[in-house]
């Protein structure tokens, strides 16, 4: 890279987490000699959190001189693409995964490549790894966008979620004091896991693994006020049960609130999917009494791609992931059976296409995999053969396209400096074209 060509006061979108902050100001970033590192001081990325500053600094340092590598040796882009197509075509079964920092265009290209290969497809959504994932997805949720939570909810329940860890600026941007001057009460309901609480937050520690039971308890307590005159729970049970004691303050706040927002993680603190269904049922019941909605957040990993990957996957194949064979008509969904981790651990694939970054949940499985790895990413992988890496433009600063925020809002990306490196979508489409050309020969 010859230097930084970012203009002063240029706005950028940070794709370092699913919050997709679009208010980042790149100030005081000037062209620098190639011998110097990129400017990554806070003044260069105003508004960004610590993770965002690191993410954007990595993008600014991107090396667009290196095109690709084959078996840990530098290679031309055309050679690497031809080699990737040849080796993928020889694999008996391929897995396509990743997409955690991908644009919608990149996810669509990856899904099309999976279809061409008859590959397994799993962008590693949380619900793909649990047997009840498809059922929970079809249950239905009453949801709202982040701005509605910010502007309306005077009672917020952060339920088995960790926004500080997964969406670092969520509290700053969407749990600030209400503009109307009304008090906003925030409750963090979680197990024994440590959380980073903000000022004015009430922590309610739940018995580990009892998020679903807590949702039922809260609904029963509220039903006594909104429902029949006969108490839903006897006084002896209420006073002697830990959950009812813990939820009493939350129930009182919900009764006083004008609008209730429930922030959840896509895993809801447990692996069965039952808690997610119970919380969604609670929100649906509340919404018949007063304004109430759920704001689900992606859990784990880094990058802006999880929601977009799940949306494209659901549209193409009927589920967020764990697609045994990527086929729009003959698809077979197998949650907790054909997810990336299980396919890799059981040795059921001999080739993997990794698009962008992957969540921590499958990074270890990929590291231990000794078959063909084709990586399309702005980050060079460890030098382990047999492996092909295609250098892709960073999503945050050098890609045009769209990403999907967790609440469904489309965010347009804008390239803020010229770069010669193709996008991940372009590279995947070139592999696809090479595969199709082989079919016609």
The pLDDT tens digits for 275-291 are 888 899 999 999 999 99
Of residues 121, 94, 18, 101, the one with CA closest to residue 423: 101
Instruction: Clarify whether residues 161 and 219 are in a common domain.
Output: yes
The pLDDT score that the predictor gives to residue 347 is 92
Read off the pLDDT of each residue in 345-368 and give the average, rounded to a whole number: 90
The pLDDT score that the predictor gives to residue 235 is 57
List, for residues 57-98, the tens digit of each pLDDT value.
Answer: 888 888 888 999 999 899 999 999 999 999 999 999 999 999
In a domain, 199, yes or no: yes
Q: Take residue 1 and report the two structure tokens written for it.
A: 């890279």
The pLDDT score that the predictor gives to residue 396 is 83
The pLDDT score that the predictor gives to residue 60 is 83
Q: Whose structure tokens read 């960073």?
A: 394
Read off the pLDDT of each residue in 170-174 and give the average, rounded to a whole number: 93
List, for residues 14-31, the tens digit of each pLDDT value.
Answer: 999 999 998 888 764 444
- Domain range for residue 347? 68-124+321-440
In a domain, 417, yes or no: yes
The pLDDT score that the predictor gives to residue 82 is 97
The size of the chain, in residues, is 441
The pLDDT score that the predictor gives to residue 435 is 95
The pLDDT score that the predictor gives to residue 271 is 55
Last residue of a domain, one of 18, 39, 60: 60
In a domain, 316, yes or no: no
Instruction: Clarify whether residues 259 and 364 are in a common domain.
Output: no
The pLDDT score that the predictor gives to residue 441 is 61
Instruction: Clarify whether residues 162 and 280 are in a common domain.
Output: yes
- Following CA atoms 138, 141, 146, 148 in sequence, which dihedral angle do they give, to the nearest 10 degrees? 150
List, for residues 403-418, the tens digit of each pLDDT value.
Answer: 999 998 999 998 777 7
What mean pLDDT, rounded, does the chain reach? Answer: 83
In a domain, 80, yes or no: yes
In a domain, 1, yes or no: no
Instruction: Clarify whether residues 185 and 332 are in a common domain.
Output: no
The pLDDT score that the predictor gives to residue 269 is 47
Question: How many structural domains compose the chain?
Answer: 3
List, for residues 365-401, the tens digit of each pLDDT value.
Answer: 998 899 999 999 998 877 666 799 999 999 887 777 9
The pLDDT score that the predictor gives to residue 12 is 84
Instruction: Clarify whether residues 284 and 146 are in a common domain.
Output: yes
Read off the pLDDT of each residue in 204-231 and give the average, rounded to a whole number: 80
Q: Is the peptide bond before 43 cis (omega within 30 degrees of 0)?
A: no
Instruction: Clarify whether residues 142 and 249 are in a common domain.
Output: yes
Least confident of 46-60, 84-98, 325-339: 325-339
Instruction: Clarify whether residues 265 and 151 are in a common domain.
Output: yes
Instruction: Clarify whether residues 286 and 344 are in a common domain.
Output: no
List, for residues 223-232, the tens digit of each pLDDT value.
Answer: 887 765 555 5
Instruction: Clarify whether residues 120 and 144 are in a common domain.
Output: no
CA distance 263 to 265: 7
Instruction: Clarify whether residues 151 and 34 are in a common domain.
Output: no
Q: Is the pLDDT of residue 40 over 50?
A: no
The DSSP 8-state label assigned to residue 293 in this structure reads E
Instruction: Clarify whether residues 182 and 227 are in a common domain.
Output: yes
Q: Take residue 273 and report the two structure tokens written for it.
A: 């999917």
In a domain, 3, yes or no: no
**CATH, residue 431:** 3.40.50.740
Q: Whose structure tokens read 């016609």?
A: 440
Q: Take residue 365 and report the two structure tokens written for it.
A: 């499985």
Beta pairing, strands 292-297 & 260-265 = parallel
Instruction: Clarify whether residues 340 and 428 are in a common domain.
Output: yes
The pLDDT score that the predictor gives to residue 332 is 78
CA distance 288 to 341: 40
In a domain, 5, yes or no: no
Beta carbons within 8 Å of 253's beta carbon, 6+ residues apart: 155, 185, 187
The pLDDT score that the predictor gives to residue 404 is 92
Between these two residues, 192 and 276, which has the higher pLDDT value?
276
In a domain, 254, yes or no: yes
């Amino acid at each position: 890279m010859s230097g930084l060509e970012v203009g002063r006061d240029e706005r950028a979108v940070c794709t370092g987490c699913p919050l997709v902050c679009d208010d980042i100001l790149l100030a005081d970033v000037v062209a620098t000699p190639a011998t110097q590192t990129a400017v990554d001081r806070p003044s260069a990325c105003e508004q960004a959190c610590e993770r965002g500053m690191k993410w954007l600094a990595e993008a600014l340092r991107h090396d667009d001189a290196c095109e690709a590598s084959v078996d840990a040796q530098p290679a031309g882009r055309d050679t690497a693409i031809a080699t990737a197509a040849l080796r993928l075509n020889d694999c008996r079964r391929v897995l396509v995964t990743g997409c955690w920092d991908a644009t919608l265009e990149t996810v669509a290209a990856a899904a099309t490549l999976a279809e061409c290969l008859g590959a397994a497809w799993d962008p590693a959504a949380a619900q793909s790894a649990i047997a009840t994932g498809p059922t929970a997805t079809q249950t239905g949720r009453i949801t709202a966008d982040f701005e509605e939570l910010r502007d309306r909810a005077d009672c917020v329940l952060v339920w088995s979620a960790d926004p500080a860890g997964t969406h670092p600026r969520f509290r700053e941007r969407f749990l600030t004091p209400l503009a109307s001057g009304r008090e906003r009460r925030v409750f963090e309901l979680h197990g024994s896991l440590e959380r980073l609480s903000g000022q004015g937050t009430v922590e309610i520690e739940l018995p580990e693994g009892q998020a679903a039971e807590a949702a039922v308890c809260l609904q029963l307590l509220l039903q006594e006020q909104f429902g029949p005159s006969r108490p839903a729970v006897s006084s002896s049970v209420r006073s002697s049960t830990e959950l009812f004691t813990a939820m009493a303050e939350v129930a009182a706040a919900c009764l006083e609130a004008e609008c209730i927002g429930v922030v959840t993680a896509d895993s809801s603190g447990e692996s069965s999917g039952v808690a997610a269904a119970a919380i969604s049922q609670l929100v649906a019941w509340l919404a018949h009494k007063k304004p109430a909605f759920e704001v689900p957040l992606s859990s784990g990993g880094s990058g802006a791609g999880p929601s977009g990957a799940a949306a494209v996957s659901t549209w193409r194949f009927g589920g967020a992931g764990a697609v045994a064979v990527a086929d729009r008509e003959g698809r077979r969904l197998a949650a907790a059976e054909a997810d990336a981790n299980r396919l890799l651990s059981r040795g059921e694939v001999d080739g993997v296409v990794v698009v962008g970054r992957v969540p921590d949940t499958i990074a270890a499985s990929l590291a231990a995999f000794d078959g063909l790895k084709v990586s399309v990413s702005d980050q060079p992988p460890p030098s382990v053969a047999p492996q092909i890496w295609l250098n892709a433009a960073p999503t945050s600063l050098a890609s045009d396209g769209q990403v999907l925020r967790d609440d469904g809002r489309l965010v347009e990306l804008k390239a803020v400096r010229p770069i010669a490196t193709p996008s991940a979508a372009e590279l995947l489409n070139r592999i696809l074209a090479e595969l199709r050309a082989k079919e016609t020969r």
